[in-house]
Structure 1
Amino acid sequence: MKRPLPFHYAWIIALCGALTLFCCFGLARFSFGMLLPAMRADLGFGYDRMGFVSTGNFVGYLISVGLAPLVLRRVKPRLLVSLALALIALALLGISQSSSFAVIVGLYALVGVGGGFANIPIMVLVSHWFRRERRGRAAGLMVAGNGVGIILSGFLIPWLNDVLGANGWRAGWLILGGIILLLALVVGLLLRNDPADLGLEPVGRIQAPREAELIPHEAPGAGRVLAQLGLLYAIFGATYLIYGTFIVTTLVEEYAFGEGTAGLFWSWVGFFAIFSGVSFGALSDHIGRKWGLMAVFILQTAAYGLAGSGFGPWAMFVSVVLYGLGMFAIPTIMAAAVGDYLGLSRAAAAFSLLTFCFAIGQTLGPSGAGMLGQALGGFAPAYLLSAASTALAALLTGLLPKPAEPH
């Protein structure tokens, strides 16, 4: 097939991936922390209830992550991603019109369901369209969509609250839902399931199969390593979501920041998060997955410790920068670590299991922090507990064995 584009269509697929993550995570998930203070004030919900709303999202995500491999046997990625984004959009539109706690929890759980059904197949398409040497670059472009979504919500939500007052959060969900519905259509039109559909080959050099890349099935200690990685991923999931859910509320209600200033802080998270996965992924290529993971956990320990320190606005700003720098580093390194430790033949199945651990941490973290914040009247203890957890994770990372030598 003659290509009318000056570049390979695979990069359109990567763009669709960025738009997908921009929608299902950058907007639908990470905007929640920006919308939370106004929602809580208008609806009269406590911190514990808002924590359970966030938890509902991850329960939905956990369910869809488990079902996605089964669904993909019957539904092609292009259709599944488009339908998932449409589901997210409709659920957000429903939240914009709701006042019932139960309804909002249910709708935000559907947002989580859509997130899993969008995320898993879009990652599958990366392997179809990009050979090994280009997958990291493509994944880095896709992950950048998260950061762009965070930046947008950091500016948009405070402006809406300033203009519309108590109804600003409703307009926020309404506008975000409309954006995602439009992009669901765009992604549906541009996405393709396989390069062969367009008469193309995947991007990258064809390499002969190398047995050296496959660690034998009976590699010693594989189960123990998988359990260690799962625990580390669960700790990351719980702690980074506690911070992401409640940091804007902390800035507004505990530090008396205006919503515009808090939104600017959140936008800085998004800016640094754009570079997070690519930077730490490259670092781990040079120093090893074990030391790369340890570096990120130490970075996060500093971010959470500063957030709970009470040292003032400058400490919070440094905390936000450190959080953004490490925000998407662990998933990037974890994907590579699975291949290093377990071999490419088992990497996909192993990463699915690790994603369950990650989602369990995300499910438990915000609800626990919300109840703790409600009981103690603030989130400093939750941040300090998060810092202790990631410090423990850094120590546990040091116990990971050296990956088996290829042979």
Structure 2
Amino acid sequence: MAPETSPPTPRSRLVAAFVITALLTSFVAATYGFGFYLFAQIVTDMRKDLGFGYTVVGTVTASGQLGFLLFALLGTWLSTRVGGGQVTIGSAALCGLCLVLIPLTDSIVVIGVLLTIMGGTAASVYVPLVEIVGRTIDYEHRGKVLGLISSGTSYGVFVNSLLVPSFVGGGNWRGLWYCVGLGTLTSTAIAAFAFHRLGLFRSERNLEQAQDPQDAQDPGTPRTADRDDSARAGWRMVLVRWVVIVWVMKFLNGFACMPFQNYLSPYLREGLGFDIGFAAQVWGVIGVIGMFAGFAVGWLSDRIGVRTSLVLCYGMFFVSAVLLVVAPIGYLPMVSGILFALAFYPIYGLVPAYVSKTASGAAATVIFGVTNVTQGLGGIVGNYTAGFLKSWTGDFTWYYVVIAVTTLVLGALTLQLPHEGSPESAIGRTGPPPTSDKDLSHA
């Protein structure tokens, strides 16, 4: 017989939700903001000190993408076996360790390996998010929470912008790596304690028994162990129509979003003739908006639906690309950047929000894990295609035409998805979508 355990109070659930949201956002800020983008910001200073060329920089960047793909698969496999909480904490700790180790070596090969591993942790820390959010956040708040978490990259880049001038200006790029690495490890230690207290290192079945032992003892009540919650069942999601649509959408997201971001500055400066000051202003506005856009659109999605919010984002993304093709004059590129930021950051929170509201357990983990793989593949194909079109036509414009068309396809695919929480979309759970407070606490 399970020991008597008091169910969590609304206040305790609110505190737990706030803590988990803050910690997961910090993990995304560390693995993406520090792992992916810090090297790009200080590569000039590291090159001068260590003496490597841009061929090496390109190789390291490509290997980081490869690490992302490999760890997305590995993280999915591990999450269905050892648990999402363990994978997230382990990934964050590994990222922090790599950040600390980088300044200890002068070997660019070793640095490249560490950066590749960090690129991988950006994927593996993200894969279990839908499981963790599904266990700790009430159903009606998951859109805004995942939207805020998806904006974590902006917070990491913002922290970089504050730290880089003081460290690099004094010729101490190594101290910068130590600073963000120790900060990441500290955040990970706090998160490990919080995860332990909240039971996130235990299986969902054990957590539900601890929260509601009466329900766990009732043989007539569906339990997590009785649900379609095995890893093997999760991998069978390839047979579900809406799941395949989500995977295709994530591929197209990578195909359109990543090159848009990567080639924006070269297009503004080389293709359109804007100076570096204006290009920096556009990027600054994108970064600031990105810090709030994910939460704002996520909040909206909890009220009007994830599908409607996705269509809204793809509409803004379409207009953003069209402006760069049809009227890239005056301050219109700045308007394009604003629309891009309003769409780009929320998209990466809305898709996991949709998954968390339509699937649970191992099925949700596998579905979202594969989306990270397809997104990475889309980014690789998109970046290659953009480079090819630039070489072939001599202009970046044509890829932004491709992006505009892709956003129309994404909008059409979104309309093919069933409404989140509807019976025909439910995977990994039995019965109707959660409606009562008790259902929401277990959703």
User: TM-score normalised to the size of structure 1?
Assistant: 0.73
Alignment-derived partner of residue 118 in structure 1: 125
Q: CA deviation at 1:143?
A: 3.3
Match of 1:255, SS state, is coil
1:153 aligns with 2:160: yes
Alignment-derived partner of residue 11 in structure 1: 18
Alignment-derived partner of residue 427 in structure 2: none
Contact 1:147 1:269 in 2 (8 A): no
Match of 2:261, SS state, is helix
Alignment-derived partner of residue 255 in structure 2: 238
The gaps in structure 1 that reach 5 residues or longer are: none
1:351 aligns with 2:368: yes
Q: For residues 201 and 174 of structure 2, what CA distance do their matches in structure 1 show? A: 42
Alignment-derived partner of residue 332 in structure 2: 315
Q: Structure 1: which amino acid aligns with 2:249?
A: L
Moved more, 70-79 or 355-364: 70-79
Identity between Structure 1 and Structure 2 (%): 22
1:29 aligns with 2:36: yes
Alignment-derived partner of residue 294 in structure 2: 277
Match of 1:355, SS state, is helix
Cα gap change, 1:285 to 1:232, in 2 (>3 Å)? same
Match of 1:9, SS state, is helix
Cα gap change, 1:122 to 1:333, in 2 (>3 Å)? closer
Match of 1:363, SS state, is helix
Q: CA deviation at 1:105?
A: 4.8
Contact 2:251 2:377 in 1 (8 A): yes
Q: For residues 310 and 99 of structure 1, what CA distance do their matches in structure 2 show? A: 47
Q: CA deviation at 1:325?
A: 0.9
Q: For residues 165 and 324 of structure 2, what CA distance do their matches in structure 1 show? A: 21
Q: For residues 246 and 114 of structure 1, what CA distance do their matches in structure 2 show? A: 25
Match for residue 351 of structure 2 among 320, 334, 348: 334
Moved more, 370-379 or 323-332: 370-379
Match of 2:328, SS state, is coil
Q: For residues 183 and 363 of structure 1, what CA distance do their matches in structure 2 show? A: 31
Q: Structure 2: which amino acid aligns with 1:353?
A: V
Q: For residues 385 and 111 of structure 2, what CA distance do their matches in structure 1 show? A: 19
Contact 1:23 1:149 in 2 (8 A): yes
Alignment-derived partner of residue 89 in structure 1: 96
Alignment-derived partner of residue 256 in structure 1: 275
Q: Structure 2: which amino acid aligns with 1:129?
A: T
Alignment-derived partner of residue 60 in structure 1: 67
Match for residue 191 of structure 2 among 187, 192, 195: 187
Match of 2:15, SS state, is coil
Contact 2:140 2:302 in 1 (8 A): no
Cα gap change, 1:313 to 1:106, in 2 (>3 Å)? farther
Cα gap change, 1:364 to 1:94, in 2 (>3 Å)? farther
Contact 2:321 2:336 in 1 (8 A): yes
Moved more, 83-92 or 172-181: 172-181
Contact 1:51 1:371 in 2 (8 A): no
Q: CA deviation at 1:232?
A: 1.7
Contact 1:158 1:263 in 2 (8 A): no
Cα gap change, 1:370 to 1:54, in 2 (>3 Å)? farther
Moved more, 63-72 or 281-290: 281-290
Contact 2:145 2:295 in 1 (8 A): no
Match for residue 132 of structure 1 among 123, 132, 139: 139
Q: For residues 183 and 266 of structure 2, what CA distance do their matches in structure 1 show? A: 25
Q: For residues 170 and 388 of structure 1, what CA distance do their matches in structure 2 show? A: 44
Contact 1:294 1:394 in 2 (8 A): yes
Q: Structure 2: which amino acid aligns with 1:27?
A: F
1:45 aligns with 2:54: yes
Q: CA deviation at 1:225?
A: 3.2
Match for residue 229 of structure 1 among 246, 260, 264: 246
Cα gap change, 1:223 to 1:365, in 2 (>3 Å)? same
- Equivalences for residues 287-326 of structure 1 within 5 A: 287-307=304-324, 311-312=328-329, 314-326=331-343
Q: For residues 196 and 177 of structure 1, what CA distance do their matches in structure 2 show? A: 24
Q: CA deviation at 1:31?
A: 4.5
Cα gap change, 1:337 to 1:268, in 2 (>3 Å)? same
Contact 1:92 1:173 in 2 (8 A): yes
Q: For residues 43 and 325 of structure 2, what CA distance do their matches in structure 1 show? A: 19
Alignment-derived partner of residue 428 in structure 2: none
User: TM-score normalised to the size of structure 2?
Assistant: 0.68
Alignment-derived partner of residue 429 in structure 2: none
Query: Which is greater in Rg?
Result: 2
- Paired residues in the alignment total 387
Cα gap change, 1:364 to 1:9, in 2 (>3 Å)? same
Cα gap change, 1:317 to 1:339, in 2 (>3 Å)? same
Q: CA deviation at 1:263?
A: 5.1
Q: Structure 2: which amino acid aligns with 1:23?
A: A
Q: For residues 375 and 173 of structure 1, what CA distance do their matches in structure 2 show? A: 39
Q: For residues 11 and 387 of structure 1, what CA distance do their matches in structure 2 show? A: 37
Moved more, 273-282 or 397-406: 397-406
1:142 aligns with 2:146: no
Contact 2:151 2:345 in 1 (8 A): no
- Equivalences for residues 328-407 of structure 1 within 5 A: 328-338=345-355, 346-370=363-387, 379-398=396-415, 406=423
Cα gap change, 1:50 to 1:317, in 2 (>3 Å)? farther
Moved more, 19-28 or 362-371: 362-371
- Equivalences for residues 172-183 of structure 1 within 5 A: 175-183=179-187
